[in-house]
Structure 1
């Protein structure tokens, strides 16, 4: 058996320096020594330091002065350092020099007005520390898909990366950022040592039969090495110490690759190499593999057990259950959620419950299902909700004949078309991907039949809201409502469980023929109560605002004696209506058009003609403006004689039956 050991395996410069600093302080300093977080993600090293009196704290407030607090290689934000010093603690900064450069770069560009974007794991201490140098204002993205979820950024952009970030992901992110934004300034801050370690691991994993990746469970760079190697070699295992080495069939495994994360000390690596070398020389009655297999758990079809996620791709999730073979969950057996995203939802190392479908899928693997476990647990949740009449959340996944199908806690729920809303729904596809609150109205555990109703809850909520409205309604009260339907005579508005009518005349100060000229179904508008009848359950609402009344504004704008310009919009037997502006018309009596007697206004004017006229009367209350063209520039028919002018005594007052028409309010029709 041949061992291929990565040259770059083990401590990087930054980690080695941090560990060295802490060990020296532990042996020489008279003060209490704290490390803010584990100095490295390696339990063996942390345990050794603990024996030397070093205390690991997660919160700066846990440190008690007088003492020294060591900042680990990941680094922290400036406010944390300042806070420690203000409390009388001595800060020993062991931040990696590469990380310090990122801190300086981010701080400088932030002060220059750049929007900072960091590529990396938002929960990682290094990322949290970097973000502190731009007042925690950075956008943190883990892959290229997160770029599309960023808001529109108008500033210049500066993007940096976590030192242990996978280069392939970094390049995809940069490509996507450049496509979406302009002025993207990128700084490749992936550590050279990390880059080298990942490249070397990739090469080794392609030429060996088995790979051992040594490092702590919480080590980010170790997990990334594992992902890279697992892609090229199925027999890739992540171990912390030599005791974790899996069984090796030395008859089949001829070449083994060994690499290690940046937080793995040399002595741990040497122990692993020594044990693998010893394994090659073993000649015992029972092989190492047989001995290991005898300690494995047993599995049976239909069993529910626990396992850890050790990897995944687009089609499958790989599970370690302590069995001789890994378990495989086909992606379609992991979740029913159509929006399920493996990159966001799956995390290597997470423990989950799985259902054993087959112990051997034909290729030596255990076929598993997570959906079946969810269904068993979910059915218990559904049963309690059914018995207690409690609502449950259902995510609609598809439209079927007669209704829709949704998922609630891993259980399929059917919602009939008649129960999906309190109104008729023509196209049920509008509910797909929506999350509805429903009440379970039918449950058959044997047939696994579950029926839900959203309508019942909607009606209950509306009834409660309706009672609240009728108990507190009063004239003049305003509500925020939603337009539910439009009729020729007005719009019906839901003001919170109760519908009220906004009449056509109350929608606008201008003349409109249909409500759709002002509002549309679904609009949210502010309305006020004009009148109501509790017995008949009727509410009259107003939408137009008094402040928008054009006659109020006209009173400020137009004065008696002003000469104004307008367009002739209508001719009637007793005169002509002239539009001064939208919603404001004035009347020119037939006697005020020409200096001669006219048989009809049309002898001198035509619709659409622009004229100048003088305001001779303005009545705001009755919305009436009287105009005179004659006093500005009389319009005489061609060939008319001056002696035909009307004697003043013969000018009659406007007949009473035309007074209402003369007011010409904004939306009223003129009746001849």
Structure 2
């Protein structure tokens, strides 16, 4: 037979942190009590009691002038405030993962949202989380969620914030999330299942699948331990839940090649060792000694080390990493990538192995702060030097700007780009490039001084030259391009069609009569143009924008005929009359005699450019494409249509 101990068996970092805090306090001789059992293990509680740390059940029982240890499961906001009001010194051993849930639900209520806690309602951790809300909702699982939603259908429209008890199973949480996403219209989800718990449960189940017998060690009151046993029973025929070595009956061991051992997060190492040693006396082959496994679990790491771990959870602010040691690791989002817009799920996924740099080992918080970005930076120097040597193009994000230029982060390395090499026009502020992704070449590297200089404009010029060469090779009359308006003059607009600028004459911008190109386009606009002519020798391109499928005279003749009334815009005043635009590109003449029903000296006495007036179309010269219009005809029409009064009868 082979005896295998699960790698993640025993204290999690939150429990270890709480126990170490209690032991340190007891060693100092500070008057102190524990509020409730700081962890779910009576042997540990008895051990602490023997050191002078007693437990009290209620906050009122904490003696005045004494310190109090808050258990790893946490306590409500009211308990914290009540103890502080009495001047009691609080030693908070709440698991950092649980503290984070307190913050999530409290902030959710501040934003007008309804916190929904998925977990065992009477579990002390859940009770504490609920104590940070004014109106919490606690549900054990998917079935309870369904009942709660059906009791008041309008709840499906509520702004809901879902969190999970840290020791809940992935199956329960995923079921609730799936149902809520399907039925609720305004829900947000925070996956607060502890990464260490999730990994422990996964390891236990995988080990149980290949074992004929599983031994689960832990306090029977521990929710974490009971979950482990439940998961193991799903795949293993013989699962035994025990609290200590003397509970294990080895007289009836099944005929199996492998027996597995795991332990809940509140089970101390010395109890696991007792069970392991008792069983090893009956087993012919031991995979690893308990001492070796324990040594691996507490292997120290130091600031500056390079470590490899497994991603166990991803949140909007950090990546949680299991390092296989006594402390978990986390990578803040700011230390994941030098891309300021990066989303964690675009870089890593749960289950991925990730290599990172140790920034800080915190024994107080039982955490290891990691950085992938800084490790990338170390590798980045080699790539930067190679890019300079080979003159290759690299990519980065602009992180800073000043009068002298901009700073680009490339592989975590700061690269300075002088203003003259940014490619921006002289008067354009450098801030235009902030947080943008740019392509550049490295022009100078001094690793000793940590100085790197680059050029964006060199890449831009080279790419523009290559694009221009392609345009000139393929250009022909009538070919269409999508371009960008680069500049305007009084006579037209210059448009970049991909490395080459062409000019759209003012007459080719619109069928309507315009005085300046700015009436139709502005710098930076994306426009559709076509080639009117291209002189490859002189490198000149004439472009057009007008839609020739909408030829103005055809549009006019298909819309109007003699006798119709049209609303027109006065575009030009002459001594003999006024020209008016009937449709874009087609003007008609209102002779001075047709402007009013009385004599006028000049058209400007009645009309102004830009006026819109109703006119009657009195004549259309199809051959010469001329139109005669009249305002007077509309003024006289009512009088002409009046019936003459009849002669009175004698």
Query: Which category describes the TM-score, using the shorter chain as reference length?
Result: 0.5 to 0.7
Q: Distance in 1 between matches of 2:274 and 2:492?
A: 94
Q: Distance in 2 between matches of 1:329 and 1:164?
A: 27
1:165 match: 173
1:465 match: 467
2:185 match: 177
Measured against aligned partners, the alpha-carbon deviations of 1:589-647 in whole angstroms (never above 9, x if no partner) come to: 56889999x795669986779686564451455x4234689999989xxxxxxxxxxxx
Q: CA deviation at 1:556?
A: 4.0
Q: Does 1:259 align with 2:227?
A: yes
Q: Does 1:441 align with 2:410?
A: no
Aligned residue runs from structure 1 range 195-594, under 5 A: 215-217=201-203, 257-260=225-228, 264-265=232-233, 267=236, 270=239, 273=242, 280=271, 292-294=293-295, 297=299, 299=301, 302-310=304-312, 318-327=320-329, 329=331, 332-342=334-344, 347-357=349-359, 368-421=370-423, 423-424=425-426, 426-557=428-559, 562=563, 569=570, 572-575=574-577, 577=579, 580-581=582-583, 583-587=585-589
Measured against aligned partners, the alpha-carbon deviations of 1:105-150 in whole angstroms (never above 9, x if no partner) come to: xxxxxxxxxxxx9xxxxxxxxxxxxxxxxxxxxxxxxx989xxxxx
1:259 counterpart SS class? helix
2:465 counterpart SS class? helix
Q: CA deviation at 1:571?
A: 5.9
Distance 1:444 1:179, change over 3 A: same
Q: Distance in 2 between matches of 1:343 and 1:238?
A: 31
Q: Distance in 2 between matches of 1:272 and 1:342?
A: 39
Query: What value does the CA root-mean-square deviation take over the aligned residues?
Result: 5.5
Distance 1:624 1:413, change over 3 A: same
Measured against aligned partners, the alpha-carbon deviations of 1:489-510 in whole angstroms (never above 9, x if no partner) come to: 2211111111111122211111
Q: Distance in 2 between matches of 1:425 and 1:489?
A: 24
1:554 counterpart SS class? helix
Distance 1:240 1:464, change over 3 A: same
Q: Distance in 1 between matches of 2:404 and 2:447?
A: 22
1:216 counterpart SS class? helix
Aligned residue runs from structure 1 range 188-199, under 5 A: none
**Contact 2:213/2:238 (8 A) holds in 1:** no
Q: Distance in 2 between matches of 1:411 and 1:265?
A: 52
Q: Distance in 2 between matches of 1:359 and 1:599?
A: 94
Q: Distance in 2 between matches of 1:315 and 1:513?
A: 55
Distance 1:325 1:240, change over 3 A: farther
**Contact 1:213/1:258 (8 A) holds in 2:** no
Q: Distance in 2 between matches of 1:618 and 1:405?
A: 67
1:260 counterpart SS class? helix
Q: CA deviation at 1:374?
A: 1.5
Q: Distance in 1 between matches of 2:375 and 2:343?
A: 19
Q: Distance in 1 between matches of 2:290 and 2:396?
A: 48
**Contact 1:247/1:292 (8 A) holds in 2:** no
1:177 counterpart SS class? coil
**Contact 2:494/2:503 (8 A) holds in 1:** yes
2:225 counterpart SS class? strand
Q: Distance in 1 between matches of 2:462 and 2:489?
A: 27
Distance 1:163 1:406, change over 3 A: same
How many correspondences in the alignment? Answer: 438
**Contact 2:217/2:242 (8 A) holds in 1:** no
Aligned residue runs from structure 1 range 596-611, under 5 A: none
**Contact 2:216/2:225 (8 A) holds in 1:** no
| Structure 1 unaligned blocks of 5 or more | 5-97, 103-116, 118-142, 146-161, 181-197, 223-236, 636-672
1:352 counterpart SS class? strand
Q: Distance in 2 between matches of 1:291 and 1:247?
A: 19
Q: Distance in 1 between matches of 2:356 and 2:390?
A: 29
Q: Distance in 1 between matches of 2:238 and 2:339?
A: 42
Q: CA deviation at 1:463?
A: 0.4
1:165 counterpart SS class? helix
Measured against aligned partners, the alpha-carbon deviations of 1:355-376 in whole angstroms (never above 9, x if no partner) come to: 3456675666555433332112
Q: Distance in 1 between matches of 2:538 and 2:583?
A: 41
Q: TM-score, length-normalised on structure 1?
A: 0.51
Q: Distance in 2 between matches of 1:609 and 1:293?
A: 91
1:397 counterpart SS class? strand
Aligned residue runs from structure 1 range 614-633, under 5 A: 615-616=618-619, 618-619=621-622, 621=624, 623-626=625-628
Q: CA deviation at 1:462?
A: 0.7
Aligned residue runs from structure 1 range 96-111, under 5 A: none
Structure with the bigger RCO (C-alpha within 8 Å, sep 6+) is 2
Q: Distance in 2 between matches of 1:356 and 1:432?
A: 29
